Structure formats: structure tokens, C-alpha cells
Amino acid sequence: MATAEVVYNSNDHRIITNAYQLKPFTRRSVVLSFDDGPSKRLPQILDVLAKENAVAMFFWQSRLLHPQREWQQALKGGHVIGSHSHKHPNFVSLEPWQQEKELTTSVRVLETITKQPIRYFRPPFGQFNETTLNVASRLGLVTVMWDIASFDWALKQKPEQMVSNVMTHIQDGSIILLHELEQTVQVLPTLIRRIKEQGYHFTTL
Ligand SMILES: [Zn+2]
């Protein structure tokens, strides 16, 4: 979960908030990104994505990759997995060596289990400092934030508000922050349809 405004800006070129920073697109594309999994909602999210023929990015807490969670399907669907740390601490409150340990553990676990190289990192709570960026970069990780926070975590009672949060601010290359939550699953088909109606395709970094 993160605390933030709906729109996130950064002038720091080391932080990715828009997909176009990393690659040019020939057609209008946006990125759906889901934090905090793999959760028990993941199969439902993957079903919706498959039905809509959409790819997404999943930033996982590596401690959650136990066999009972059906995370394998995410790899088959062509989705991209990134690190959301091992235990989801606030990196700003950690010593440098602790930040390094969180990230190395997370990448090691994710790579060992998924057999895929991990290239992207999203800081828990969207919180980071210079040390975080340096450690991530030393480990070959690109730090990925977002330009639109759906605020899904705060909208259990008002899920349709997440759709308007996104649709009000969507632009070419937008990276949309979502979570593996029940209310998110509920409105995901609507959200995807509305995004498609605006002429956007879905991509990953
Ligand atoms: Zn999180």
C-alpha cells in the first residue's frame, strides 16, 4: 500500500513514472501494475487480464511465494514480475545494510522460484531515499513508481472512484498503481474497458 496523491511526479531521471521513459511506443500504451502479491486474489486478476487479452506488471513481496499461492499462472500469461521487497518494510526507516539485504533476498528468492531475471523494483509504500536508489541500481534494478495511483486500497466502499481516478489522469505511457485487492478485482473489467475505449493498449516495461 502507498500513501500518495493520485498523480505522482518526479524530476529524478533514475525513477520511472512513465513507460515512455524506458522505451518509445509506436501505439498508445499504458501499464497496469499490481503491488503486494502474490495474493489469493491473483487467479481472479489473471482471469480478467486473460479475457481482456491484457498484460500487466506484478510487484511481489518475495516472502509470499509459497506453493499455495497460484503465482505460476502469472508467468505463463506473459506478465512481468518485479520486486516489491521481501517483507515490505519502509526502506526510509532501514539502515543501508538492511535495505541491501531486503533487496538481495527478494531478488534471489524471486529469481530462484520464477526462474526469470528480475529487473524492476517498486519500493514498499512508495518510500525510498538515496540509499535505496543506489542499492537498487547496484543490483541492476530499475526503480519503478507510477504516474497514477488508483487509491484502490482506500476505496473498498467506493471502487468506482478508482476508475475515475485513473481515467481523469491517464496519458500515453501511464503507469497505473493497483493492488491485488478484492475491490480492485471487482472494478478491473470496467477499468480495462474504459482504458481501451480511450484507444490505449496494455504493455509492460
Ligand atoms: Zn506495497
Residue with cell 529487473: 119
Q: Which three cell numbers stand for residue 98?
A: 538492511
Residue 140 pLDDT: 96
Residue 76 CB burial class (10 angstroms; 0-12, 13-18, ≥19): exposed
Give the pairing type, strands 57-60 and 80-83. Answer: parallel
Residue 1 pLDDT: 47
Ligand 1 centroid – CA 26 distance (Å): 31
pLDDT band at 11 (very low <50, low <70, confident <90, very high): confident
Residue 3 pLDDT: 52
CATH 3.20.20.370 correct for 15-202? yes
How do the domains of the chain map onto residue ranges? 15-202
Ligand 1 centroid – CA 39 distance (Å): 12
Ligand 1 centroid – CA 1 distance (Å): 4
pLDDT band at 106 (very low <50, low <70, confident <90, very high): very high
> pLDDT for 117-176, tens place per residue?
999 999 999 999 999 999 999 999 999 999 999 999 999 999 999 999 999 999 999 999
Reply yes or no on whether the pLDDT at 81 is more than 50.
yes
Indicate the pTM of the whole model. Answer: 0.95
pLDDT band at 23 (very low <50, low <70, confident <90, very high): confident
Ligand 1 centroid – CA 11 distance (Å): 22
